[in-house]
Amino acid sequence: MPVALADLGWNHEFEQEFAPYAANDWVPARLIRDNKITYGALTVEKGRFEEYEVVMSGKVYHDAATDADLPAVGDWVALELGDEDHDTVIRARLSRQTCLSRKSAGHSTEEQVIVANPTVVVVVTESGPDLNLRRMERYFTVIGRSGARAVVLVNKSDLFAADQNQAAVEAIQGLNPDAEVHLCSAMKPRIFKQTLKPYLTKGHTLAFIGSSGVGKSALINELLGDEFQFTGEVNEITGKGRHTTTARELMVLRKGGIVVDNPGIKEIQMWTDETVLRERFADIEDLAMQCRFQDCKHGKDVGCAIRIAVEEGRLDQERHLGYLKLDEEIAKLLKRKKTRQMTVERRFKRDHKIKARNRTDRMEYEQDLRPRA
């Protein structure tokens, strides 16, 4: 069966925006992989998918005011096809119709695009230790902003008791009545595929996110069927293959629908906002208000309400330790932000230098042209 760009998510609005580029003989393609310096891009030629390794043009790079403006997996771009001597080049990026990104409030330079143009964001979790309702709230916030629908899969149902699974589904549903929350297991692929079927429409993009090890790739593998097999290393302890996804990748399903596998999101890396970090320990901060001394370090201090809560078993010791490391964590975070800011500034400076150099070149050139006296 011949394929068309619509199988990749192409639609009327993209086509309209692309019209001026078509006049240059550029071709529309969707970015499926980010290799840092190059990208993988998928297009359709003569009814078949064709993949190219492509680079960004200087203009696309320089026009990007922030990292978030740079092409990302899921983006539609205009390609100028190369030949033996020339790279295939991204000449333009089309506007995003939806966009899953993380953004710390007020710092637009720090926005990071996770997936461009998703139709549905599938959050994978479990009813076991990975379940974290606060984190789930954060996911709902970013999905809400993305313009995509939210679907949550409570995976690994085979590993946990039925009432525990049910309670997890209800708690997540309670956070967001608009989200669609389903129980599933990669060990029961038939039922799982049935669950996702309504979302796997031709041209619809499903972006899978969630912590490392929750089963995103295992579930995607089931959807891909024979088309795809991981060649992961074998875990010496369990003897099972375990492949940690290291790069985001967009894949087209033969029966319709597009999936994007993402590396597991490390919570700290993902939501590095001081407030968010503090939010995770809101209950402990409440306890801290009850400490006897205002400057309590919450260690061995007399009358420390936090320590007493640990001793009485009302507070998990690990969480207490995590809380004690919070300031350290925030300091690290601020340092990282600063480094980031410096990179951005350096880039502006460099761009400025290039411009200045171009100007000098031009002036010298014009001088050369001037008739000599």
Site size toward Mg ion, by CB under 5 A = 3
Cα 10 to chain center, whole Å? 21
Q: Which does 298 bind (CB under 5 to 8 A by kind): Zn ion, Mg ion, ligand GTP, none?
A: Zn ion
Q: For the segment 192-231, give every residue that binds ligand GTP (CB under 6 A).
A: 210, 212-218
Binding site for Zn ion (CB under 5 A): 291, 296, 298, 304, 306
Q: Is 230 in the site for Mg ion (CB under 5 A)?
A: no
Q: For residue 328, what are the CA distances in angstroms to 133, 152, 301?
A: 24, 33, 19
Q: Is 245 in the site for Mg ion (CB under 5 A)?
A: yes
Q: Which does 74 bind (CB under 5 to 8 A by kind): ligand GTP, Zn ion, Mg ion, none?
A: none
Token representation of residue 76: 């539609």
Between 190 and 229, how does the x/- string for binding to Mg ion read (CB under 5 A)?
--------------------------xx------------
Q: Which does 242 bind (CB under 5 to 8 A by kind): Zn ion, ligand GTP, Mg ion, none?
A: ligand GTP
- CA–CA separation, 15 and 22 (whole Å): 9
Q: Which is nearer to Mg ion, 119 or 217 (CB)?
A: 217
Report yes or no: 205 and 74 within 8 Å, Cβ to Cβ. Answer: yes
Burial class (CB in 10 A: 0-12, 13-18, 19+), 117: buried
- CA–CA separation, 224 and 206 (whole Å): 13
- CA–CA separation, 155 and 123 (whole Å): 10
Q: Is 24 in the site for ligand GTP (CB under 6 A)?
A: no
Q: For residue 212, what are the CA distances in angstroms to 69, 123, 157?
A: 27, 12, 17
Site size toward ligand GTP, by CB under 6 A = 22
Residues that bind ligand GTP (CB under 6 A): 155-156, 158-159, 185-187, 210, 212-218, 240, 242-245, 263-264
Residues that bind Mg ion (CB under 5 A): 216-217, 245
